[in-house]
């Protein structure tokens, strides 16, 4: 087993890491003025080893049509070709390699995905929020290797851990010590490339609180600029950022820049001019933008969708004398991971091994549906699959006497579709693997008491100046909202089981522990009282599917959108 990198970092400090990075040979006087280094980056893989299905397995083109994309065996083939074109290449990740993963990775604590990234030759990755799903100690194990402390080594024994660095310049312990390495330096053909990793500052709002006890997440721009200054002092002039934060888009193809205002572009505007390129993640969007740095100079900012469907490719021209990037000669694009190339044999063998070991559990039928249950919402924000999951959580917590259940849309990760899968279970049959893909987090149900006024406050928190995040609700809850009303005063006509909600009356509400801890900004839920635990959310979903064979998609009549 490798020496634990996390422990070594705490013991030796950043200075030793920096000193170890400073090695380079002089450029030959006969060499060309610049050398080319290719960076090949992906983001938000989420353990999708097999080609993802449905809308998660396609890429939208500029004309609005789409092409199937993704699958680790094809991702590896495209990476091999891109590296063959430019031998001086680095493979990087902008975070969320693991977590919220399909069953053939998640059943083994995402060890197959880490093994794949090792095969791919990833050099460095920033940590995303999902790297913390199972806590900091599990993140350490995924980096350093070793068997899971409870389940052991179920995929391969021993598990070697990651061959790549996991970076987080803005992740510290509560006493200010760095919890992760802030940067990595790669020596490529006589040049040094500094790679800075920064994850989203609001990470605590999207991870279960207990998973990050003792950790703090600082301002992204401050961390990037501080780390960039350290690299510059070490003579590392070519600098790129892996940023696990992103913007959303309003359409367009892989290389368009139809951005809605968002955090990544604001970070890009503030990040040090010493940084030459920024790869982003988290928002699962596709874009290729030029955003001016604080000195007014253009700088590329890219994101490559998610699930291994795109590769963000940047060719840097690095001056052999100054060792800095010649930005005017930088070329960047998002490349579609098409499935019309031969599958990489090593990746395919790994996928087959994971599928074979997971099959006895993944292919077990657990229920049936009469039609598609998509997670895509109606204009009101209500989604058929969201309704079903909220109803499932209501039924599963019946012993706690709930009156309603509420769930977060971000916890619903995949559609539940009627057509049968290649496993051959048949149309309408739901397998354990399919149900797991919908609810992969293992959140625990909790039932709490809220007053009617607090319930209204929860519903009002669906709207912030930055975004709208419509909660999914069980059948007993009805309400209306006016999109044009001021934030904090949008919700009206709240009723439970046909009776208007009284501000002073207590109501029993079931939510998962992520929401109960104030996740996704629903801080009003932290004020709940008389909290009683319940089952895991996946078990609630499985039980509901078993109890309701031939499940019919419910009508979207719980939330009414007014002008």
CB 537 within 8 A of CB 391: no
Distance CA 436, CA 299 (A): 40
Distance CA 299, CA 426 (A): 50
CB 170 within 8 A of CB 176: no
- pLDDT by residue (tens digit) across 66-112? 999 999 999 999 999 999 999 999 999 999 999 989 999 999 999 99
Residues 456-463 have a mean pLDDT of 98
Q: What is the structure's pLDDT at 466? A: 84
Distance CA 395, CA 403 (A): 10
In 3D space, the residue among 177, 81, 193 whose CA is nearest the CA of residue 136 turns out to be 177
Residues 400-404 have a mean pLDDT of 97
CB 278 within 8 A of CB 266: no
Does the pLDDT value for residue 30 go beyond 50?
Answer: no
Backbone angles phi, psi at 533, to 5 degrees: -80, 165
Residues 122-144 have a mean pLDDT of 97
Q: What is the DSSP string of 113-158?
A: HHHHHHHHTEEEEE--GGGGTT-HHHHHHHHH---BTTTB-SSSSS
Kindly indicate the confidence band of residue 15, based on its pLDDT and cuts at 50, 70 and 90.
very low
Q: What is the structure's pLDDT at 442? A: 86
- pLDDT by residue (tens digit) across 161-190? 999 999 999 999 999 999 999 999 999 988
Q: What is the structure's pLDDT at 4? A: 45
In the chain, where the domains are located: 34-346, 365-562
Level-2 CATH architecture, domain 34-346: 4-Layer Sandwich (3.60)
Q: What is the mean pLDDT of the chain?
A: 93
Q: What is the structure's pLDDT at 251? A: 86
CB 44 within 8 A of CB 96: yes
Percent of the chain surpassing pLDDT 70 = 94
CB 257 within 8 A of CB 334: no
In 3D space, the residue among 249, 320, 315 whose CA is nearest the CA of residue 276 turns out to be 315
Percent of the chain surpassing pLDDT 90 = 88
Distance CA 236, CA 452 (A): 58
Q: What is the structure's pLDDT at 6? A: 53
Does the pLDDT value for residue 385 go beyond 50?
Answer: yes
In 3D space, the residue among 422, 412, 305, 355 whose CA is nearest the CA of residue 106 turns out to be 355
Instruction: Return the CATH fold of 365-562.
Output: 5'-nucleotidase;  domain 2 (3.90.780)
Poorest-confidence range of 49-53, 122-126, 277-281, 286-290? 49-53
Poorest-confidence range of 6-15, 235-244, 311-320? 6-15
The radius of gyration computed from the CA coordinates of the chain, to the nearest angstrom, equals 24
**The total number of residues written for the chain in this structure:** 563
Q: What is the structure's pLDDT at 27? A: 36
Distance CA 197, CA 257 (A): 23
Distance CA 487, CA 324 (A): 47
CB 390 within 8 A of CB 407: yes
34-346 and 365-562: same fold? Answer: no
């Amino acid at each position: 087993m490798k020496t634990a990198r996390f422990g070594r970092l705490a013991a030796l400090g950043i200075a030793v890491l920096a000193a170890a990075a400073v090695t380079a040979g002089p450029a030959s006087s006969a060499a060309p003025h610049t050398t080319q280094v290719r960076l090949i980056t992906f983001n938000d893989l989420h353990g999708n080893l097999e080609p993802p299905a449905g809308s998660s397995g396609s890429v939208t083109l500029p004309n609005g049509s789409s092409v199937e994309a993704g699958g680790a065996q094809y991702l590896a083939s495209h990476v091999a070709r891109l590296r063959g074109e430019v031998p001086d290449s680095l493979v990087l990740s902008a975070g969320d390699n693991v977590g919220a993963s399909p069953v053939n990775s998640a059943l083994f604590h995402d060890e197959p995905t880490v093994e794949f990234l090792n095969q791919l030759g990833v050099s460095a990755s920033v940590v995303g929020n999902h790297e913390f799903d199972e806590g900091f100690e599990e993140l350490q194990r995924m980096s350093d290797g070793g068997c899971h402390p409870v389940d052991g080594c179920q995929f391969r024994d021993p598990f070697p851990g990651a061959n790549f660095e996991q970076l987080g310049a803005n992740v510290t312990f509560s006493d200010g010590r760095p919890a992760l390495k802030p940067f990595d330096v790669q020596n490529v053909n006589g040049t040094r490339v500094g790679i800075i990793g920064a994850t989203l500052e609001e990470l605590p709002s999207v991870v279960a609180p207990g998973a990050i006890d003792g950790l703090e997440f600082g301002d992204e721009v401050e961390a990037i600029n501080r780390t960039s200054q350290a690299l510059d002092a070490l003579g590392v002039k070519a600098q790129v950022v892996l940023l696990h934060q992103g913007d959303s888009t309003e359409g367009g193809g892989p290389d368009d820049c139809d951005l809605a205002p968002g955090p990544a572009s604001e970070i890009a505007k503030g990040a040090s001019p010493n940084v030459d390129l920024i790869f982003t993640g988290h928002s699962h969007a596709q874009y290729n933008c030029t955003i001016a740095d604080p000195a007014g100079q253009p700088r590329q900012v890219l994101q490559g969708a998610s699930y291994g469907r795109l590769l963000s490719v940047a060719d840097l021209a690095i001056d052999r004398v100054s060792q800095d990037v010649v930005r005017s000669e930088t070329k960047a694009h998002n490349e579609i991971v098409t499935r019309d190339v031969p599958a990489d044999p090593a990746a395919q063998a790994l996928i087959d091994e994971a599928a074979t070991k997971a099959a006895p559990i993944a292919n077990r039928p657990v229920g049936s549906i009469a039609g598609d249950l998509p997670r895509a919402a109606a204009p009101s924000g209500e989604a058929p699959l969201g309704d079903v999951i909220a109803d499932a959580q209501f039924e599963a917590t019946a012993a706690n006497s709930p009156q309603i259940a509420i769930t977060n849309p971000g916890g619903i990760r995949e559609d539940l579709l009627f057509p049968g899968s290649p496993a051959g279970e048949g149309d309408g049959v739901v397998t354990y693997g399919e149900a797991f893909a919908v609810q992969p987090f293992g959140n625990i149900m909790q039932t709490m008491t809220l007053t009617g006024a607090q319930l209204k406050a929860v519903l009002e928190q669906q709207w912030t100046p930055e975004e709208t995040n419509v909660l999914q609700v069980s059948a007993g809850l009805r309400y209306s909202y006016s999109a044009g009303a001021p934030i904090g005063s949008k919700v009206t006509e709240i009723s439970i089981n046909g009776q208007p909600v009284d501000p002073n009356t207590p109501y029993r509400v079931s939510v998962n522990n992520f929401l109960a801890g104030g996740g996704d900004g629903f801080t009003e839920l932290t004020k709940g009282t008389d909290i009683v635990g319940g089952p895991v959310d996946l078990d609630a979903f499985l039980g509901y599917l078993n109890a309701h064979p031939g499940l019919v998609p419910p009508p979207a009549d719980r939330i009414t959108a007014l002008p």
